[in-house]
Structure 1
Amino acid sequence: MNDRPSWVPSDVDVEIPSSARIYDYLLGGAHNFSADRTVGEKMLRAMPNATRIAGANRSFLRRAVLYMLEQGITQFLDLGSGIPTVGNVHEVAQGANPDAKVAYVDYDEVAVAHSELILEGNENATVVKADFTEPNTVLSAPPVRRLLDFDKPIGLLMVGVFHFVPDEKQPHEILATYRNALPDTGALALSHLTADYAPEGMAGLAEAMRKSKDPMYLRGHDEVVSLFAGWELIEPGVVPAPGWRPERAGEPMEPKDIYAGVGRKV
């Protein structure tokens, strides 16, 4: 087990790839194992721009958090947060406002273990090991309740996670439960992979993930828009991630393979 760092929980099977660690690999992180890298390489063969898609998703996360901070939101619930590589939510949020609070939620043991390490001593951030598709468990988790004030604005972050949720798990009902728990001043940032632009390549991406812990379910534009039911989409609506409020005019609007949007609770 030379591929196992000392901080990885002993019950983690490093031979089973996970979406959190594959994403970390595509972002250039170091918290992944050979099984994750193998799937990552398969994804890159199917979609050579997979690293750019991962980067575009991460950049959207940053812009969405900064937008929410501008709207007076200083609390964040990051669902399916993954491994907190460079550009993580507390780094972005607390860099702009040291008092910002962040609760991370993930069911991947490695993601949680590494989060606990880097959050040690950070009183305004916590991590919970839970499946975000079980909202009542997440919302009642003591660390979440201790850190976040549900009478004040909360930013709900579902960035790059709902393409791992099959229709059988009723994604709209999951979102509705979270929405109903937030105050009226809450906001949602969501991104989702799509096969609208490169169907063959994205089919190969989904095939690479088929035997992982997190098989992939791609959705089209209208389906992603429907996930914002009960939220008022802010301009420019649901668009390819690079086109959501780019920081500089004239930036290339590629890749288009992941939709992104932000909504206010209505």
Structure 2
Amino acid sequence: MPWSRLSGLRSDLPHPARMYDHYLNGKNNFAIDRSAAADVLAPAPEVRGMAFANRAFLRRAVSFAAGCGIRQFLDIGVGLPTAGDTYECAVLATEEARAVYVDNDPLVLAHARALSTRPGRVHVAEGDLRDPGTLLERAAGRSGLDFRRPVAVVLTAVLHYLSDADDPRSVVGELMAATAPGSALVLSHVAADLRPEAARATAETYRLSTAPLFPRALRDVRAFFTGLSLVEPGVVPISTWRADRLPRPHADRQWMYAGVGRKPTGGARSGPRA
């Protein structure tokens, strides 16, 4: 979910979180967001399907993590609330699930807090992905995640809003270094090499928003899982991740990658404590 570089409730610029909400047929968006989304969808109508595919991947991946015994979920860049969020997906597998939602956008935080009706189960924290140390401290301290136990770190459709200068690979490395063995990384990312022309055109439109878009090739997305054990089938087009028995309309036109990695058991770990 989008990671804005500009603070404040900006209504004079398109906002990727609100554009994403529009792709999902939501109501939390402005005319300027719908106009920018239309500019994206005109040459690449599959982007709307990609947004839905990303939500479907989230459901499958969170269910997988819960099935592995993970009960804690750290969703970074959670975006505007929609049905089937991380906690709802997890609780279908276990009533013991709890989640921390993190974002740096005031609008997203306001909506998340207003709709959080699960006391003790879901916490909302302000945090910046470009400052993972502070983000982890807040998740452990104010929101009560226990990093001595496995955590699923959810980074769906968010890392492509960090430039190479932001060093997203180091960001992911610091986040996972703080987690216990057996933790999981759930990640999806816009692809630069599946439909390059569409990716370039879409990135051009997002340059005018509060958060530019940086698609990446398969090798770069795989690099985010360095030090982790990739869950089969690895990093693959998003609609194909563990979806063998599910319908996948227009999957060949969706240019996003997705994957899940597990932190090997055994070995030392350092990180924030509650």
TM (norm. structure 2) is 0.89
Runs of 4 or more, structure 1, over 3 Å off, are: 142-146, 249-256
Alignment root-mean-square deviation, CA: 1.6
**Alpha-carbon separation, structure 2, partners of 1:34 and 1:109:** 19
Question: Which of 1 and 2 has higher RCO (CA within 8 Å, sep 6+)?
Answer: 2
Once the two structures are superposed, residues 132-188 of structure 1 have per-residue CA deviations (whole angstroms, 9 ceiling, x without a partner) of: 221011101167654311111100000011111101011111011101100011100
Of 232, 240, 253, 1:235 maps to: 232
Residue 216 in structure 1 maps to residue 209 in structure 2: no
Question: Which residue of structure 2 lines up, in the alignment, with residue 264 of structure 1?
Answer: 262
Question: Which residue of structure 1 lines up, in the alignment, with residue 5 of structure 2?
Answer: none
Distance of aligned partners of 1:53 and 1:144 in 2 relative to their CA distance in 1, 3 Å threshold: farther
User: Post-superposition shift, 1:129?
Assistant: 1.7
Matched to 1:134, the amino acid is: D
Matched to 1:154, the amino acid is: V
Matched to 1:80, the amino acid is: G
User: Post-superposition shift, 1:45?
Assistant: 1.1
Of 41, 48, 63, 1:44 maps to: 41
Residues 106-255 of structure 1 correspond to what in structure 2 (within 5 A)? 106-141=103-138, 145-246=142-243, 248=245, 251-252=248-249, 253-255=251-253
Distance of aligned partners of 1:142 and 1:102 in 2 relative to their CA distance in 1, 3 Å threshold: closer
CA contact (8 A) 1:44 1:50 kept: yes
**Alpha-carbon separation, structure 1, partners of 2:11 and 2:125:** 21
Question: Which residue of structure 2 lines up, in the alignment, with residue 84 of structure 1?
Answer: 81
CA contact (8 A) 2:173 2:224 kept: no
**Alpha-carbon separation, structure 2, partners of 1:259 and 1:219:** 9
User: Post-superposition shift, 1:265?
Assistant: 1.0
Of 13, 19, 30, 2:16 maps to: 19
Once the two structures are superposed, residues 13-68 of structure 1 have per-residue CA deviations (whole angstroms, 9 ceiling, x without a partner) of: 21222221111111111111112111111110131111001111111011000000
Question: Which residue of structure 2 lines up, in the alignment, with residue 4 of structure 1?
Answer: none
**Alpha-carbon separation, structure 2, partners of 1:132 and 1:92:** 23
Structure 1 unaligned blocks of 5 or more: 1-10
